[in-house]
Amino acid sequence: MQCSRREKSRVFVGERHNKQRRGENSNIYNLFISSHIKNIRKVIIMEKSWDPTWEKVFQSQEWGKYPEVNLVRFIARNFYKALDRNKVRILDVGGGTGANSWYIAREGFDVYVIDGSETAIKILKNRFEKEGLKSHTYVGDVINLPFEDNFFDGVVEVECLSCNTLKNVQRIVDEIHRVLKPKGKVYSQFLGKETWGFNSGKKIEEGTYKDITEGDLAGKGIIHSTDENEIKNLFSRFSKLDIERMDWTHQRNNIREYIIIATK
């Protein structure tokens, strides 16, 4: 049975419960359990957006150690003036091995990271432990964020949206909107349709391809590329939206990314 948004309860969790529930409905994807928030609620996720291709990627190759420069500017401009950075909650959606959350934690903010890959989160935790950094890490699917409404001051994501179908991109954006505090801000970095490799691979829908054969994201599963009009529709619930386009080349091939900053 498909639950409606109101019928779905949520859990605000540490890490995914890793014991598999056997003999139950195969549609049940995950069960989150909370240990650090008083009002404990449970959530059963029946749908998923995370592409397991990324588990193989994180197991087989090193992937990103340092933050995007535009993300650094976003954090500096919006949160450096906080009197107590430890009270500023920032969520890294699809944070992978922690390139961006590493920087955010070093700057003294209260950082949360969620990713579908157990391997990526393990790598992140090992790095943070070696450097004495703190974070809240979660293995889970980002179309159902396991946090209260109005919980975060800021949210960041770098090309997590690009690794989803358009339907799931909208769900993730709506979830980000839900967990942001009023006037909270989100930073998003999203591949554009002029990017090298777009239109290669198997077409799933307009703008979405699987098993791309060219470019940096070749063999990385589902990839969605966007444009400015689509971004405006995706982020229409936000009170303010700034979009910048960044064009560059790699191995003489074109790359286009959109830098999106939105305010709830």
| pLDDT of 189 higher than 80 | yes
**The pair of three-digit structure tokens given for residue 108, joined into one six-digit string:** 């003294």
**pLDDT attached to residue 215:** 80
Decide if 142 contacts 159 (C-beta within 8 A). no
Q: What is the pTM of this model?
A: 0.83
Average pLDDT, the chain: 84
Decide if 75 contacts 154 (C-beta within 8 A). yes
- Residue-range domain boundaries for the chain: 47-263
| pLDDT of 18 higher than 50 | no
**The pair of three-digit structure tokens given for residue 21, joined into one six-digit string:** 């529930």
- The pLDDT tens digits of the residues spanning 218-238 come to 888 999 999 999 999 999 999
| pLDDT of 11 higher than 50 | no
pLDDT band for position 25 (50/70/90)? very low
pLDDT band for position 4 (50/70/90)? very low
How far apart (Å, rounded) are the C-alpha atoms in residues 225 and 191?
5
| pLDDT of 6 higher than 60 | no
Report percent pLDDT > 90 for the chain: 66
Decide if 240 contacts 232 (C-beta within 8 A). no
- The pLDDT tens digits of the residues spanning 129-160 come to 999 999 999 999 999 999 999 999 999 999 99
pLDDT band for position 216 (50/70/90)? confident
The candidate with the shortest Cα–Cα distance to 161, out of 141, 186, 191, is 191
pLDDT band for position 29 (50/70/90)? very low
Helical packing angle, 118-131 and 53-60, nearest 10°? 40
Alpha helices in 13-140 (DSSP H): 53-60, 69-79, 99-106, 118-131
CATH, range 47-263:
3.40.50.150
| pLDDT of 54 higher than 50 | yes
**pLDDT attached to residue 26:** 34
**Mean pLDDT over residues 31-41, rounded?**
35
- The pLDDT tens digits of the residues spanning 245-257 come to 999 888 888 999 9
pLDDT band for position 176 (50/70/90)? very high
